[in-house]
Structure 1
Amino acid sequence: MKEPVAMVLAGSRGERDSVALQEDISHKALALVEGETLLARVIGALRDAGIKRILVSADDADVMKEALRLETEIVPPDIGPSGSVARGFTLSGAPLLVTTADHALLQGAWVKQFIADLPQGADIGVALAPRAAVEAAVPGSKRTYLKFADGEWSGCNLFLLATPEAANAIEAWRSVEANRKRPWRIAAKLGISTLWDYWRGKLTLDQAIIRLGERLNVQARLVPAKDGLAAVDVDKPQDLDEVRQIAAKRAG
């Protein structure tokens, strides 16, 4: 696989969210952790992973200014994250690594491991962390989990569109994103037999991702995260407090 391009999603969704309001900033990507903006921390991790070309999907003036300071390329966002990814994929081609600006604890080693662990021949990879790993890393943290036969999983905001065929999966990603708290709806889109397997508790997450890919004529694969911290992002002010505490312990 050739060197991937990375895309960081940092678009606005209307009014300022609760994190931006608490911090009195225009966008949560500008919140500070250990003296760095969330966006700078994410871009630093991507560069630590050896990724040279980085796109930032942003429309907030202050975020765009920060993205330029960090020597990245700005891509105007489209409707919804998946629309923005589609726009970035058109510009970069494959492989394209996708993450978010609020992935404040992202590490270059995780990114390299994610890319290395993607099975040979896969068109798209999706990183998720098992609940046990998340709870071991951040005891008491409240995350959203998808429940399947092989346990409960939390998304890690890491996707790899490895081949040109991965373009077919962007629409599926939109569907998963819309129904991430309703996994039965995700299963329903895969057909009656898959839905039946899900309700019987026989459908693993890996099987669900593979079957979803097959319906889109792509090879899609789960890539389990080894560190539960990979599932931690900043959706709420409490998340930011948690991230600051973790980052401060690391720095210490």
Structure 2
Amino acid sequence: MPPVHNPDSSAGDLHPAKTPLWTAIILAGQRPEGDPMAAYCNVTYKALIPINGQTMLERVARALIASPDVGKIVIMAQSPEELKSGLSPDLATQDGIAFVASNNGIATSIHNVIGTAIAPWPVLVTTADNALLTGEILDCFFQAHNGQDVAVAVVERQTMLAAYPDARRTWLKFRGGAYSGANLFALHNAAAKPAVAFWSAVEKDRKKGWKIFAHFGPWLLLRALTRTIGFKQAMAQAGERMALRAEPIILPIAEAAIDVDKPDDLELVTGILERREG
């Protein structure tokens, strides 16, 4: 098995240089006590759960490699060497993919590498359980990005329910709609660093939008709770507090917001991929 890339070395380019290409970070770690879904599927790491013949990690990596907007991929986990078994040999040895050891904090680990030779700007962050990621989803995201320092991909509830009426997701509710995260985060330049540092402080509350907005003062929290502010305006105001431009990117593809957090998700994703891949 080839050696793990050292954190102080950069990954090679997957595509010829043109305009600045994105560095894609795949978060593939898990809590020290293990992950319930990994235990459910009898694998060591959640990222190694197989779905229709490929691990989730492989699926995400292949979608990113195929994107003409992605120049480098960084796979981040506590034990990167073990995760190499989740990639086919042609991916595990590719110069364009680096394996970097993370610590126990997701946001801290990201903060340590963004803007360095390991992960030069701009940076796209996604997760290994984003098993339905496709080139179409990535194209929509990159085309909608217009220079925001921080951008977060979401799917509106009506889009999800029109395609999957029984899907159970976590919804952030604002004036004009409710949204579920799509596990794609754009960190465009050094101005995004305060947002990553902030995320480190609120990481445990990531599923509770109101707790996150509480950190920006009572007025924004009140408007979020009473749904008298739209999602875009709320993110813009939060970004202003950190001297950066932040916006949601609303994707028109329901599958973008379906990841694998519980057995029902795995069943849904497996069915989608079996139909998609024949």
Normalization by structure 1: what TM-score? 0.92
In 2, are the aligned partners of 1:6 and 1:54 still within 8 Å (CA)?
A: yes
Structure 1: gaps spanning 5 or more residues: none
User: Which position in structure 2 is the counterpart of 1:226?
Assistant: 252
* Pairs within 5 Å for 1:37-56: 37-50=55-68, 51-56=70-75
Deviation at 1:175, TM superposition (A): 4.8
Counterpart among 86, 96, 102 of residue 77 in structure 1: 102
- Would you say 1:20 and 2:38 are equivalent positions? yes
Q: Which moved more, 1:5-14 or 1:90-99?
A: 90-99
Q: Distance in 1 between matches of 2:20 and 2:277?
A: 33
Choose from 78, 82, 91 the match for 1:59: 78
| Distance 1:151-1:177 versus aligned 2 partners, 3 A rule | farther
Instruction: Give, in angstroms, the shift of residue 142 of structure 1.
Output: 1.1
Matched with 1:123 is 149
Q: Secondary structure at the match of 1:159?
A: strand
Which residue of structure 2 lines up, in the alignment, with residue 31 of structure 1?
A: 49
Please give the residue correspondences for 1:81-230 in structure 2 after superposition, counting only pairs within 5 Å: 81-89=106-114, 90=116, 91-119=118-146, 121-175=147-201, 177-230=203-256
Structure that is richer in helix per residue: 1
Q: Give 1:39 shift.
A: 0.3
Structure 1: which 4+ aligned runs deviate by more than 6 Å? none
Amino acid in structure 1 at the alignment position of 2:245: Q
**Most deviating of 189-198 and 43-52:** 189-198
Query: Distance between the aligned counterparts of 1:248 and 1:67, measured in 2?
Result: 20
Tell me if the contact between 1:9 and 1:99 (Cα under 8 Å) persists in the aligned partners: yes
Question: Using a 3 Å threshold, how does the CA distance of structure 1 residues 59 and 189 change in structure 2: closer, same or farther?
Answer: closer
Separation in 2 of the partners of 1:55 and 1:67?
13
Instruction: Report the Cα offset of residue 34 of structure 1.
Output: 1.8
**Which consecutive unaligned segments of at least 5 residues does structure 2 have?**
1-18
Q: Once superposed, what is the RMSD of the aligned Cα atoms?
A: 1.8
Q: Is contact 2:30–2:46 with CA below 8 Å preserved after alignment? A: no
Secondary structure of the residue aligned to 2:71 is: coil
Contact 1:55 1:88 (C-alpha < 8 Å) held by counterparts: no
Q: Percent identity?
A: 35
Query: 222-231 or 171-180: which moved more?
Result: 171-180
SS at match of 1:84: helix
